[in-house]
Structure 1
Amino acid sequence: MRQKLRVAAYAVVVREGQLLLARSPGPGGVSEWVLPGGGMEHGEDPYDTVRREVEEETGYLVEVTALLGVHSTRRTFPARFGRTVDHQGVRLVYEARVTGGELRHEVNGSTELAAWQPLDAVSGLTRIRLVDIALRLWRQRPPTGRAEPVEG
């Protein structure tokens, strides 16, 4: 079984009761809302990754104001040539604030749209699970940097 590790950095950017999100084409053609962010390039610091990714996906320049936590996932799925991949994702979640730039959509990238969404409407959006995890980290600010699973 092939093993793959992906380290990524994401930003929680909240302004005037709204959360900055990007929309990404999801499986089966259904778009999903995601946090701005993405994978680290080899040799890149995660702090620089999150700033680069937010600018690429939304047009905004941001200042990182806090490390909210780290979330890790692991799943197995089929790959090419009948092989299986054991994939682990390590996601660093930062808090950031806009310092410049203008909202725009990413061109030829992993997302198709960037928008501010009211915090109280996020639960009604089609979104990836990391959005909820990151908002829990932002609200709870656990000293361990780990969002505990929600019961039920």
Structure 2
Amino acid sequence: MRQKLRVAAYAICVRDGRILLARSSAPDGTPEWVVPGGGMEHGEDPYDTVRREVEEETGYTIEVTGLLGVDSFRRAFRDRFGRAVDHHAVRLVYEGRVTGGELRHEVNGSTDLAAWQDLDAVPALPRIPLVDTALRLWRERPVTGRPAGALD
């Protein structure tokens, strides 16, 4: 089985009771909301990754105001060629504050829409689980970087 490690960095940006999200497509083509961010490039610092990814996906520049935590998970699946893959994702979740730029949608990227969403509306949105994990880290701000009750 092929092993694949993906390290990524994401930002929670909350302003006036709204969260900045981007929209991507699930594997089946269904639109779903995601936290702005994405994979690190080789040699890139995660701090730089999150600032680059937020700008690419939303048009905004951010100041990173804190590291909220780390989300890690593994899953096995078959790639498009039918090969078994043991995928391990390590996702750093930062808090960010918008400092410049203008909201725009990503062109020719992994997302097609960026928008501010009311925090109260998030539970009704089609979204990836990382949105809930990141919001939980933002709300709880656990000193360990893991939400209370996370598997040890």
The Cα of 1:27 is off from its aligned counterpart by: 2.3
Tell me the residue number matched to 2:107: 107
Q: What residue in structure 2 maps to residue 83 of structure 1?
A: 83
Distance across 1 between alignment mates of 2:149 and 2:9: 20
Q: Could you tell me how far apart the structure 1 residues matched to 2:80 and 2:119 are? A: 39
TM superposition shift of 1:102: 0.1
- 1:149 and 1:55 map into 2 onto residues whose CA distance is 33
Residue 29 of structure 2 corresponds to 29
Counterpart residue identity of residue 37, structure 1: G
Instruction: Identify which range, 74-83 or 28-37, moves more after superposition.
Output: 74-83
Alignment partner, residue 19 of structure 1: 19
Mapped pair 1:118 → 2:118: yes
> In the alignment, which residue of structure 2 is the partner of 1:131?
131
Query: In the TM superposition, what whole-angstrom CA distance separates every residue of 1:31-80 from its partner, at most 9, and x where no partner exists?
Result: 00000000000000000000000000000000000000000010000124
Matched, 1:6 2:19: no
Report the secondary structure of 1:147's partner residue. coil
Instruction: Report the Cα distance in structure 2 between the residues aligned to 1:147 and 1:109, rounded to whole angstroms.
Output: 31
- Cα offset for 1:26? 1.2
> Residue 28 of structure 2 aligns to a residue in which SS?
helix
Letter in 2 for 1:63: E
Deviations 1:103-146 (A, max 9, x none): 00000000000000000000000000000000000000001001
TM-score, normalised via structure 2 length: 0.96
Partner of 2:68: 68
Taking only the aligned residue pairs, the percentage that are identical comes to 76
Conserved 8 A contact 1:37-1:50: yes
Gaps of 5+ in 1: none
| Whole-angstrom distance in 2 between the partners of 1:44 and 1:107 | 22
Map 1:137-148 → 2, pairs under 5 A: 137-148=137-148
Q: Secondary structure at the match of 2:127?
A: coil
Q: Do the aligned partners of 1:71 and 1:147 also contact (CA within 8 Å) in 2?
A: no
User: How far did residue 148 of structure 1 move?
Assistant: 3.7
Q: How much is the aligned-residue C-alpha RMSD, in angstroms?
A: 1.1
Q: Taking structure 1 as the reference length, what is the TM-score of the superposition?
A: 0.96
Letter in 2 for 1:49: T
